[in-house]
A and B are shown apart, each in its own frame.
Chain A
Amino acid sequence: MGNRCEFYKNLNENVEFLNRVFSAPLNTDFKVRYVYLTSIKCDVAIFYLSGMVNFESLETTIIRPLIDKKAVSGKDSLSEVVQKEVLVNKDVRKIDCLDDVKIEILRGNTVIILDKETSGLSITTTGFEHRGVEKPQSENVLKGPMESFVESGFINRSLIRKQIHNEHLITESLTVGVKKSAVVSMMYINGIVSQELVEKVKERINEINVDCLQGVSILEQHIEERPYSLLPSILYTERPDRAAAFLQEGHIVLIMDNSPACLVVPVTVWSFFHTAEDYYQRWAFGNFIRCVRLLAIFVALLVPSLYIAITNFHVEMIPADLVLSIAATRERVPFPSIVEVIIMEMAFELLREAGIRIPSAIGPTIGIVGALILGQAAVEANIISPILVIVVAITGLASFAIPDISFSFFVRLLRFIFLFFGATMGLFGIAACLTVLIAYCSTAKSFEVPFFAPISPHYRSSKDTIIRPPLWKMWLRPFYVSRENIKRKTRPEGNSSQ
């Protein structure tokens, strides 16, 4: 077998070669069909992989014109004639290398090769089955668009284009890996995006050296900067409107087939903490829910460790009434409180994992079993004290309020580290650990953008960080992303009521 770039002169030899490549007749999906072109009196072979092409469009846009066309007038080479005059209602590309034929076929395109010609034509006929556009699964909003990405790169791009009508919105297709079978679409708005960033992302993608790349979640792990770190550096979103918003701020969006989501680079901590809803709701409401989520991050991160630190090291902080009632409920509990917390946290994580893996038909039961029966029974059996149920429940609840999955994991795992320090050194340990954590995060970078930018390091920005200003005041694009076209619009005069 081996690779071969040049086409054979003879059609049969080409067919044989391709049959060998695709292990035809063993591989029944590989189809070769012959058509005789009456107009130019030539044999034509049509290659495709069944299941990857749309038969109807193959029928109507390739085979029928080839057969029906009566006469041609062109004087170019046969392939070009066919391209220009026969197959006019389809995207047709000329291929000069036999190896590329293989790649084209693998992408779901149909290739036709004419007899006596040393080039082929590739026609876009990809037709995979996929879901229709549905509501987002994890990034729900009350107010705003309800569309989410699906497992088709084509549709995903169209969902983004639906949001941005801009001639500078560019989709670059990058092929990945040794076999070049996976395609990553890189979208950005020219003129807003920084060119260095584009180069950097391209370089990262080109460095990927794998046979196949299944989707953006795998891509994410290939291009991220700190594979061992808990800290995520790439945003994964399933909302086209969010992707569009990021594009307009000069970020890059990466889209692949088979992934109902896209990747956004570079990102800062604020992207993990914002949701689309913040912008759709009015200023005060949007900021209110942001504050709630900020609180949720701290609650999810610190509450169990604070509980341990305070009850084990700093009892004087608890009002006398509470300290006595906690002591009363703990009286019959045999374990130290840290063990209690670990038992409960483990139970909660179990519940969470089980809730995802469980068949959806019996899904609701898990909540009842977990929350009511398990919690209640554990308290009654004196394995844990009631206050701890509150602590763990509130922590769990708060961790659900963190909008980004990666960030949520980050917080959930760090919680155990804080728990460890809280149990060994009390508030001193927690405070020292928090400082180190912030110091670590502050130097973390996502494609050279500092994690806490634009607050620290401080840049001039539209101040859309912990809270956001009214929309009409956000007239600056983030500086840390791009230096081109810094202003979104001119500085607004007066106030919104005018």
Chain B
Amino acid sequence: MIKPTDGKIGSREFFGLVLILILIKTTGSTPMYLFKLGQNATWMMPFFFLLVIIFPFFLLYKVLNGNKDKHLIEIIYSLLGKWAGFLLISFIFLYSFSSLVLASRSTVDIVGTLFYPITPKIMIYLFLMLASFFVAKRGLEAIGRTTWLFYPALNLFLLFALVLAFPILHVDFLFPILGPGLPSLITSSIKHSATYGELFLLAFLYPFIRSNKDFRNSSFLGILFVTVQFSVILAVFVMAFDYPSIKNIAYPFQQLTRIIEVNAVLANYDSIFLAVWVVASVIRFAILLYITTLIFAYMIRLEEFEPLLLPFSGLIVMLGIIPENPIVVMNFFNTVVIESGWMIINSFPVLLWATWKWKERGAY
């Protein structure tokens, strides 16, 4: 009561967002690409991701903390100037927008291929984006609170899946321990570090988080949790399917939920996991939609961005439906977005920080 709704989200909500936004990637097409590179040692890659992104992210946090009263986009504009700033923001926007389009398309593909083969993709797509739009339309608070409300349930189901998978797991499948060998593991990790790119997008929400402490704790703790859980999930995939089979399995999470069972009679729970996963996906696309629209609106210096949510959702469906099949989408996503995104993601905080320090020194 005394706390009037300020449109801000607290540490738990933000923590939930960090986890959902990144962890959900294990259930999509990302593992397929990681497994091709990391083979049976893929479970180590999240730790390398963490090592790669933690330093740039720390710099970004420093920059945000140093310019508390400003929005990240304002900071970029004020530090880099009008033209360079615009260029950088439009790169980030492109990254965010394309990953939203491709990830949503990939989700639609999974739903369509595995559960609704006859239903036209466009219907599933419309349905998914409509749900995400409604959630996003209720504002950041709604997204944050919904995340936090569902967070325990989502984790519970994940745990449930892992426990049920236990009988079919073989630790031996993790060996040879280094998989493709350490050097190749590290290079491919660096190249795919944009898997954690959403963390940087979440930094755009900095002014909407209740306090600096909330942001710091949630994001750093969150990314640590993400790393551990990401790694455990990937390890479970390997232990269930083994390399090289895992290379050929299209959607390991869905396939895993398909083979786990309590006994021969009580089997086939994949649809339940579909439902849980759809909940997480709706939240994921809602927040991505929110951030993408926000970046776009602030980039062209609009104050109000919420009216843009609906056109954006429509645009996403229209663009997302273009690719012919899932493989085209995933190839594009991984070769273009992830493999070029990592450079933007990792370099822009360093650039910002350096300019900030340089300008600060110049001020004295």
Shortest Cβ distance from A442 into B: residue = B145
Q: Which 4 A-B pairs have the closest CB atoms?
A: A442-B145, A431-B278, A432-B131, A314-B271
B225 within 8 A of A: no
Partner of A448, one of B4, B12, B116: B4
A455 within 8 A of B: yes
Partner of A457, one of B141, B265, B274: B141
B268 within 8 A of A: yes
Within 8 A of B (CB), among A137-153: none
A215 within 8 A of B: no
Nearest Cβ distance between residue B61 and chain A, in whole angstroms? 22
Shortest Cβ distance from B267 into A: residue = A319
Chain B neighbourhood of A434, CB < 8 A: 279
Chain B neighbourhood of A333, CB < 8 A: none
B138 within 8 A of A: yes
A197 within 8 A of B: yes
A86 within 8 A of B: no
Task: Establish whether residues B131 and A456, one from each chain, have CB atoms under 8 Å apart when the complex forms.
Answer: no
Task: Establish whether residues A445 and B141, one from each chain, have CB atoms under 8 Å apart when the complex forms.
Answer: no
Within 8 A of A (CB), among B119-165: 119, 124, 127-128, 131, 134-135, 138-139, 141-146, 148-150
Nearest Cβ distance between residue A294 and chain B, in whole angstroms? 12
Q: Taking chain B's interface residues, is the majority helix, strand, or loop, or is none over half, making it mixed?
A: helix
The tally of residues in B whose CB lies under 8 Å from a CB in A reads: 46
Bound form: Cα–Cα A452–B147 in Å: 12
A436 within 8 A of B: yes
Task: Establish whether residues A482 and B1, one from each chain, have CB atoms under 8 Å apart when the complex forms.
Answer: yes
Bound form: Cα–Cα A458–B144 in Å: 11
Within 8 A of A (CB), among B259-315: 265-272, 274-276, 278-279, 282-283, 286
Bound form: Cα–Cα A443–B128 in Å: 21
Task: Establish whether residues B1 and A436, one from each chain, have CB atoms under 8 Å apart when the complex forms.
Answer: no
B111 within 8 A of A: yes
Partner of B127, one of A197, A428, A448: A428
Partner of A427, one of B119, B135, B145, B274: B274
Nearest Cβ distance between residue B237 and chain A, in whole angstroms? 22
Task: Establish whether residues B131 and A436, one from each chain, have CB atoms under 8 Å apart when the complex forms.
Answer: yes
Task: Establish whether residues A443 and B142, one from each chain, have CB atoms under 8 Å apart when the complex forms.
Answer: yes
B175 within 8 A of A: no
Task: Establish whether residues B149 and A447, one from each chain, have CB atoms under 8 Å apart when the complex forms.
Answer: no
Bound form: Cα–Cα A427–B271 in Å: 7
Bound form: Cα–Cα A458–B116 in Å: 37
Bound form: Cα–Cα A445–B10 in Å: 18
Chain B neighbourhood of A438, CB < 8 A: 146, 149-150
Chain A neighbourhood of B10, CB < 8 A: 457-458
Task: Establish whether residues A452 and B271, one from each chain, have CB atoms under 8 Å apart when the complex forms.
Answer: no
Chain B neighbourhood of A197, CB < 8 A: 1
Can you name 12 A-B pairs with beta carbons within 8 Å?
A316-B271, A427-B272, A431-B275, A432-B131, A439-B135, A443-B138, A445-B5, A448-B1, A457-B9, A457-B144, A458-B10, A482-B1
Known interface pairs A435-B131, A443-B139; A317-B272 also in contact (CB < 8 Å)? yes
Task: Establish whether residues A436 and B148, one from each chain, have CB atoms under 8 Å apart when the complex forms.
Answer: no
Nearest Cβ distance between residue B107 and chain A, in whole angstroms? 11
Q: Taking chain A's interface residues, is the majority helix, strand, or loop, or is none over half, making it mixed?
A: helix
Chain A neighbourhood of B144, CB < 8 A: 456-457
A55 within 8 A of B: no
Given contacts A427-B271, A432-B131, A458-B148, 18 further A-B contacts (CB under 8 A): A426-B115, A426-B116, A428-B127, A430-B275, A434-B279, A435-B131, A435-B150, A435-B282, A436-B134, A442-B138, A443-B145, A452-B145, A456-B13, A457-B141, A457-B145, A481-B1, A482-B1, A482-B2
Known interface pairs A452-B149, A482-B1; A439-B143 also in contact (CB < 8 Å)? yes
Task: Establish whether residues A480 and B148, one from each chain, have CB atoms under 8 Å apart when the complex forms.
Answer: no
Bound form: Cα–Cα A83–B276 in Å: 73
A91 within 8 A of B: no
A304 within 8 A of B: no
Bound form: Cα–Cα A443–B135 in Å: 10
A450 within 8 A of B: yes
B3 within 8 A of A: yes
Chain B neighbourhood of A445, CB < 8 A: 5
A266 within 8 A of B: yes
For A314, A443, A455, A479, the residue with the greatest tally of chain B CB atoms inside 10 Å of its CB is A443
Q: Interface 1/0s, chain A 455-498, versus B by CB < 8 A?
A: 11111000000000000000000011111000000000000000
Task: Establish whether residues B146 and A439, one from each chain, have CB atoms under 8 Å apart when the complex forms.
Answer: yes
For A319, A432, A449, A455, the residue with the greatest tally of chain B CB atoms inside 10 Å of its CB is A432
Task: Establish whether residues A480 and B3, one from each chain, have CB atoms under 8 Å apart when the complex forms.
Answer: yes
Which positions in A face B, CB cutoff 8 Å?
Answer: 194, 196-197, 266, 310, 313-314, 316-317, 319-321, 425-436, 438-440, 442-443, 445, 447-450, 452, 455-459, 479-483
Nearest Cβ distance between residue B318 and chain A, in whole angstroms? 20
Task: Establish whether residues A431 and B134, one from each chain, have CB atoms under 8 Å apart when the complex forms.
Answer: no
Bound form: Cα–Cα A481–B1 in Å: 5
Bound form: Cα–Cα A317–B286 in Å: 29
For A313, A440, A457, the residue with the greatest tally of chain B CB atoms inside 10 Å of its CB is A457
For B3, B4, B119, B128, the residue with the greatest tally of chain A CB atoms inside 10 Å of its CB is B3
Bound form: Cα–Cα A142–B265 in Å: 41
Bound form: Cα–Cα A316–B149 in Å: 29
Bound form: Cα–Cα A435–B138 in Å: 12
Chain A neighbourhood of B283, CB < 8 A: 435
Task: Establish whether residues A310 and B271, one from each chain, have CB atoms under 8 Å apart when the complex forms.
Answer: yes
Q: Interface 1/0s, chain B 2-46, versus A by CB < 8 A?
A: 111100011011000000000000000000000000000000000
For B145, B266, B271, the residue with the greatest tally of chain A CB atoms inside 10 Å of its CB is B145
Chain A neighbourhood of B135, CB < 8 A: 435-436, 439
Bound form: Cα–Cα A433–B276 in Å: 12
Chain A neighbourhood of B269, CB < 8 A: 317
Task: Establish whether residues B265 and A450, one from each chain, have CB atoms under 8 Å apart when the complex forms.
Answer: no
Chain A neighbourhood of B276, CB < 8 A: 431
Chain B neighbourhood of A426, CB < 8 A: 115-116, 271
Bound form: Cα–Cα A322–B317 in Å: 39
Chain B neighbourhood of A480, CB < 8 A: 1, 3
Bound form: Cα–Cα A141–B165 in Å: 44
Nearest Cβ distance between residue B56 and chain A, in whole angstroms? 30
Chain A neighbourhood of B268, CB < 8 A: 316-317
Bound form: Cα–Cα A82–B135 in Å: 68
Nearest Cβ distance between residue A450 and chain B, in whole angstroms? 7
Chain A neighbourhood of B143, CB < 8 A: 439
Chain A neighbourhood of B127, CB < 8 A: 425, 428-429, 432
Task: Establish whether residues B1 and A266, one from each chain, have CB atoms under 8 Å apart when the complex forms.
Answer: yes
Nearest Cβ distance between residue B249 and chain A, in whole angstroms? 19
Bound form: Cα–Cα A483–B4 in Å: 12
